[in-house]
Amino acid sequence: MWGINCWQTVSGNVVICSHKFQMKRKERYDTVINHFQVNIPEAETELLYDNPFQLLVAVILSAQCTDTNVNNVTKDIYKKYYTPKHFADLGITKIKRMIKSIGLFNMKAKNLYNLSKILVEKYQSKVPNNFEDLINLPGVGRKTANVVLNAAFNKPTIAVDTHVFRVSNRTGLTKGKNPNQVEEQLLKILPNKYLKKAHHLILLHGRYTCKSRNPLCTKCVINKICLYKDKNV
């Protein structure tokens, strides 16, 4: 019979005592991700898209902007313009007008136009399904490339945005000083079975529970093992 401070992972494979500092990192990964999977069963991007190009556009627009705002803009754009050829034909000025309610719209419009031209001329209007080609497109950084590879091409990548960075470090999954370190640590220790959904699970937990300000610690499913020193409890 377990003591009052002991509990079991959802998988039933690991028994964890609430003395959180004794937990090994592998056990922490197993426990955290399992609990996220149960409580966030539909873990996927909240950006709306019907093809890889639409997802690429949406992820670029989402920089310093909420997914809700991006969806409000793209839902009308995608009714008429949904291929690289469409965006290349529009030109920068027209793209600017369509996305003017999005932050950094001048730079984003320029990047969307230029990458669309490259996709048409070099990739037969198809979005590359490998990191090296994606990262060389205008406006595509490491996070954007990993999101597209994961969501559009089913690749086991980890995209580290502000939510993933915050939750990973707060909970003790990682000890990274920058997004690249967090990504490297997650990829190194996360079991393969978690890689496809891990980004979305951690991101959604950060967006709705482990918020930057005023985290909802009392409602958090991993409260007992979280290492965040400023818990709101």
Residue 210 DSSP symbol: S
Options 30, 96, 108, 143, the catalytic residue: 143
For residues 189 and 203, the answer to whether their CB atoms sit within 8 Å is no
> Letter for the amino acid at 14?
V
Options 122, 161, 177, 219, the catalytic residue: 161
Known catalytic residue at 143: yes
Known catalytic residue at 219: no
| Cα angle 70, 56, 41; round to 5 | 70
Buried b (16+ CB within 10 A) or exposed e, 189-202: ebeeebbbbbbbbb
For residues 167 and 210, the answer to whether their CB atoms sit within 8 Å is yes
**Element (H or E) spanning 79, and its range?**
none
* Residues annotated as catalytic (active site), given as ranges: 143, 161
